[in-house]
Structure 1
Amino acid sequence: MGFGENVAKVKRGTVDRISELPEFILHNILSMLDTKEAGRASVLSKRWYDVWSSIPVLDFHFQYFDTDKKQSFLGFIDRTMQRYFTQKYRIMKLNLELRMVNEKIELLVDKWLKIAVQNQVEKLEFQVHDQHSPVYRLPEILFRAKSLKVLTCGNVVMPYYETMELISLEYLHLIVKNVDMDMFQRIITFCPLVELDITIEELGKISLPWTRKMSEGTEFVDSGIMQSNFKASPLRKFAYHGLFRCITWPCNMNVVALKNLRKLEIVCATITDDIVFELVHGLVALERLVLATCTGLKCIEVSSISLKDLAIVECEDLTEVTVDAPNLLEFLYNCELETPLSLSRVQDHCNAQFFPLFVLDSITTVWLVKLKKFLVETSAFKSLLIELSNSLQIEIEEEQLKNVVTGPSYKLRELKLRETSAWDSTESSLTAFLDGLFWCCHPDILSITSSHNLTAKSIFNILKKKVQCYKHPLRSIEIEGVDTSNFLEEPSELEFRFRLSWF
């Protein structure tokens, strides 16, 4: 049942209390819906139509219209934008997703963006989904939007314009095939608050912060605007995503001028150990570092007193990792068990999570022994996340595991199991899997997320009746709760949480 039907049901009662709410509250309610769904609610009464016709959030998605109704979709957008222009309604957010852009549609988009700028737009998201269509060039008026705070664009051309007045811009996210470096140079210079997040498919060599040294001192001058002397780039965040293929790291980062950089994310890039060392040691204000799917990394050293958040994910070529970060609060580590990890000065309050990287297609007794050894030697991880693909098999020999002589199980705050094919396996296989994990570690909380037909009661019975954990049995099990927040997603998921107590 849609929102309009729900409101209609309420209106059939004795009092229509929803319609009596103040306009700004009704605006907030309708802002949670796409524009088409919000429009359905407008037919309920003149009050609802008046509220809908001036809602400050516009959300246009092409997927809500059939291909043969493209003209109807474009006409609906055009009429809506024209009404906002005529009535001078405020547009705080405009989200526009189109299947393609041709010459005729380009003229319409130019018109809509002009209206949005004139109506003081603060957040603009524009995405073209057809990679084979002519790529849309952002109009010059968009770069005179003094009210614009957030700009997200996909499959567009960001051309160079002389005029630049994005004085309020705080966040820029671009998904593009190529980019004009002169344009980025101007953005960095004229947008002192901006956080930059770019996903670029074809990128040549670039330099950050696009400055050149003018003297032996610490002052730098922008190569495009010679009269603007500054000591450091205002850039706070830089995220480079190489999409689905690793691209040789294209950036020459001037770490001296980037002393205000707080967040650095490098995804899908071929980068060397020396470059990572230089970045970590030179970026003195760096608080968040993400290295994900980075080939070429072999032996990396992360040593920083400013770093608070570190993620090393799917860097399959790593042979050794050293982390010295006394102020680290969050640490996500996804690597092979055989990769030596040295952690020094990492405090107890750090939320360190280990996410094993599987290189084989099965979980064996030998793997569990290696996992326990890894956890004990690092002695810093508070939670363990195991995500099993459908092809990953559980091959644990119970008798062999019983005969392994090791110390006590590793104390863990939480063990997270996600989407595991074990739930479709035989009961003995599932029992051996959980027994093996509990032999390895003793979690206070066990969370199981799955899209299979599981219930909290079924898992509870397996834990209570079957799982004994060799030599270290469970004392008690309590069902802590069920998280249904992703139940309506596709595929739907439920998270079951249990509190465990051990002898």
Structure 2
Amino acid sequence: MGFGENVAKVQRGTIDRISELPEFILHTILSMLDTEEAGRASVLSKRWYDAWSSIPVLNFHYFQKYRYGLYDYNDDANDRLVGFIDKTMERYFRQKYRITKMCLTLPKVDEKLKPLVDKWIMIAVQNQIQKFEIQLLGGRYGLPEILFSAKSLKYLKCSNVELPYYATMDLVSLEYLTLLTNTLDEGMLQEIISFSPLVELYIAYDKGFKTISLPWMKKVNGGVESHGNGTMQSNLQEYPLQKFVYIGLDEKSPWPWNLNVAALKNLRNLEFECAPITDDIVSELSYGLVVLESLKISACSKLECINISSNSLKQLEITDNSELKKATIDAPKLLEFYCICEVGTSLSLIRALDHCNARFLLLYPDSVTNVWPVALKKFLVETNFFKSLEIEFTSPLEMVVEEDQLRNAGTGLPYKLRELKLFGTSILTPTKSSLVAFLNGLFWCCHPDVLSMTTDLQDAAAKLILSILKEKTECWKDPLKSIEVESIEYPRLLSHSSELEIRLRLSW
């Protein structure tokens, strides 16, 4: 049942209460829908039509069907959408209706369509656009110059489009910039960064950059003060940037960004993924950014030995950095720490809060032998700050763990864990004896208070694990005294998924 039909059912009563709502509430309701879909509700009454025809939020999306690994492109559907958008934008141009937000998703922009898209953007700029999102599913399209003179624009998100090589820059209100493309023009991007009061900057898939300075220029008292050496003068205001996210393509290239830590005194969130950053860059940024609260570093292959020192850091993620051998962390206010690395990586936490939630996702070998639980126990004991251990199975495992050999591997007590999480057990096809050996190896190295499994209703391995636990299988040293079901949740029940999470409280 569509939105219009639902509203019509309510209106069949003696009083049309929905149409009596204030216009701004009707606008809010319609803004949650695609503009074309919202138009279907406009036939219900003149009040609904008036609200829809002047709604300040426009959502135009071409929805492609995904079939046999390819997108199913429909010329007729695209032509209908283009006609609808053009008719709508012409109405907004004539009536001078305010446009606060416009989202545009198109399959491609050819030479025939480009003048129309340019016109739509021009109308949006003239009608005081504040938030603009554009996504191209294919082809190439260069944004018109007029977009970069939009004084009212606060939020700009572009996906698979090109920036102009030059433009008149007047983005005096731009605070949020997201660019997802590998065809960025370096000079144009530098201009945007230099002259806009950015609060959040999200850059993905840049290629071929040489040097981008952040910041490089800054407006001061209506004028522009430029510092080619990257230094900041005393009369130069601090750069307002609070969040910077960088996702790269080429890790072999030199790091192209010049992040001036002296100016970035407001930066609170910093994220790197597939970035060619070095150990020195991580150390300099973590120490120099004095209000940094969140740092995320993922898949950065140039990192080998990092030192993170910060008196303000509260959240830290270090994940999938393949060459990382050592990480030293000094963060006395750290509340959240998430790590994905090899068991052999040396991690040292000098300072952190006692109640820091430290989680570790294990990267395991294809075969599990006695070496595996011994190495895992050594890793947990030496780091001594992980409270949660997560194991995600992405391929079948060959599990051979000899209890007799584990008895001689060490006399230390098992590491105490708050929770042990198992994901993807449906991939496993083990025998009962093999799975018993695997669990005994795990329980030899750690004793979790809670064992949780995110699994499937038809997961044979998960059922076998539950059966083994029910039999109170003993570790080589300490028996498992009791098991209680803490909770069973269906996190995706509304999406018709059979996935569930089982949480068991273990008593040793």
User: Which of the five TM-score ranges fits, normalised by the shorter chain?
Assistant: 0.7 to 0.9
Tell me, in whole angstroms, the C-alpha distance in 1 between the residues paired with 2:327 and 2:251: 24
Give the structure 1 partner of residue 126 of structure 2. Answer: 118
Query: In the alignment, does 2:432 pair up with 1:395?
Result: no
Query: In the alignment, does 2:38 pair up with 1:38?
Result: yes
2:175 to 165, 170, 177: 170
Tell me, in whole angstroms, the C-alpha distance in 1 between the residues paired with 2:120 and 2:342: 50
Inter-CA distance 287–370: structure 2 relative to 1 (3 Å threshold):
same
Give the structure 1 partner of residue 381 of structure 2. Answer: 376
Tell me, in whole angstroms, the C-alpha distance in 2 between the residues paired with 1:271 and 1:225: 19
Give the structure 2 partner of residue 488 of structure 1. Answer: 495
Match of 2:59, SS state, is strand
> Is 293-302 or 188-197 further displaced after alignment?
188-197
Query: In the alignment, does 2:338 pair up with 1:332?
Result: yes
Give 2:196's aligned amino acid: C
Query: In the alignment, does 2:421 pair up with 1:413?
Result: no
Inter-CA distance 19–394: structure 2 relative to 1 (3 Å threshold):
farther
Inter-CA distance 479–24: structure 2 relative to 1 (3 Å threshold):
farther
CA positional deviation for 1:400: 4.9
CA positional deviation for 1:313: 1.1
Give the structure 2 partner of residue 55 of structure 1. Answer: 55
Tell me, in whole angstroms, the C-alpha distance in 2 between the residues paired with 1:275 and 1:367: 34
Tell me, in whole angstroms, the C-alpha distance in 2 between the residues paired with 1:167 and 1:243: 30
Inter-CA distance 460–299: structure 2 relative to 1 (3 Å threshold):
closer
Give the TM-score normalised by structure 2: 0.83
Match of 1:269, SS state, is coil
8 Å CA contact retained: 1:460, 1:479: no
Match of 2:412, SS state, is coil
CA positional deviation for 1:14: 7.1
Query: In the alignment, does 2:94 pair up with 1:86?
Result: yes
CA positional deviation for 1:81: 2.2
Inter-CA distance 268–225: structure 2 relative to 1 (3 Å threshold):
closer
Between Structure 1 and Structure 2, how many residues are aligned?
A: 489
Query: In the alignment, does 2:477 pair up with 1:473?
Result: no
- Residue deviations 1:110-140 (CA, integer Å, cap 9, x gap): 111122223333221111121xx2x322222
Tell me, in whole angstroms, the C-alpha distance in 1 between the residues paired with 2:376 and 2:15: 62
Give 1:67's aligned amino acid: N
Inter-CA distance 39–411: structure 2 relative to 1 (3 Å threshold):
farther
Query: In the alignment, does 2:144 pair up with 1:159?
Result: no
1:138 to 133, 136, 143: 143
Give 2:495's aligned amino acid: L
> Is 220-229 or 52-61 further displaced after alignment?
220-229
Give the structure 2 partner of residue 353 of structure 1. Answer: 359
8 Å CA contact retained: 1:401, 1:436: no
8 Å CA contact retained: 1:120, 1:148: yes
Match of 2:338, SS state, is strand
Query: In the alignment, does 2:195 pair up with 1:190?
Result: yes
Can you give the 5+ residue segments of structure 1 that lack an aligned partner in the other structure? 213-218
Inter-CA distance 7–430: structure 2 relative to 1 (3 Å threshold):
farther
Tell me, in whole angstroms, the C-alpha distance in 2 between the residues paired with 1:198 and 1:396: 46
Give 2:96's aligned amino acid: K
Give the structure 1 partner of residue 114 of structure 2. Answer: 106
8 Å CA contact retained: 1:31, 1:55: yes
8 Å CA contact retained: 2:241, 2:267: yes
Give the structure 1 partner of residue 236 of structure 2. Answer: 230
Inter-CA distance 154–377: structure 2 relative to 1 (3 Å threshold):
same
> Is 301-310 or 158-167 further displaced after alignment?
158-167
CA positional deviation for 1:160: 5.1
Inter-CA distance 396–227: structure 2 relative to 1 (3 Å threshold):
closer
Give 1:413's aligned amino acid: R
- Residue deviations 1:120-177 (CA, integer Å, cap 9, x gap): 33221111121xx2x3222222223233222110122222555333232221010122
Tell me, in whole angstroms, the C-alpha distance in 2 between the residues paired with 1:428 and 1:13: 66
CA positional deviation for 1:181: 3.4
Tell me, in whole angstroms, the C-alpha distance in 1 between the residues paired with 2:384 and 2:308: 18
8 Å CA contact retained: 2:151, 2:172: yes
Tell me, in whole angstroms, the C-alpha distance in 2 between the residues paired with 1:346 and 1:474: 33
Query: In the alignment, does 2:305 pair up with 1:302?
Result: no
Match of 2:112, SS state, is helix
CA positional deviation for 1:370: 2.0
Give 2:374's aligned amino acid: V
8 Å CA contact retained: 1:263, 1:288: yes
Match of 1:166, SS state, is coil
CA positional deviation for 1:312: 1.2
Can you give the 5+ residue segments of structure 2 that lack an aligned partner in the other structure? 66-72, 218-223
Tell me, in whole angstroms, the C-alpha distance in 1 between the residues paired with 2:443 and 2:231: 64
Match of 1:183, SS state, is helix
Give 2:112's aligned amino acid: K
> Is 13-22 or 347-356 further displaced after alignment?
13-22
Inter-CA distance 461–341: structure 2 relative to 1 (3 Å threshold):
closer
Inter-CA distance 220–307: structure 2 relative to 1 (3 Å threshold):
farther
Query: In the alignment, does 2:506 pair up with 1:498?
Result: no
Inter-CA distance 79–226: structure 2 relative to 1 (3 Å threshold):
farther
Give the structure 1 partner of residue 299 of structure 2. Answer: 293
Match of 1:315, SS state, is coil
Give 1:338's aligned amino acid: G
Match of 2:334, SS state, is coil
Tell me, in whole angstroms, the C-alpha distance in 2 between the residues paired with 1:194 and 1:502: 49
Give the structure 2 partner of residue 273 of structure 1. Answer: 279
> Is 56-65 or 198-207 further displaced after alignment?
56-65
8 Å CA contact retained: 1:487, 1:493: no
- Residue deviations 1:453-472 (CA, integer Å, cap 9, x gap): 469x9699547524535224
Query: In the alignment, does 2:225 pair up with 1:211?
Result: no
User: Alignment RMSD, CA only?
Assistant: 3.6
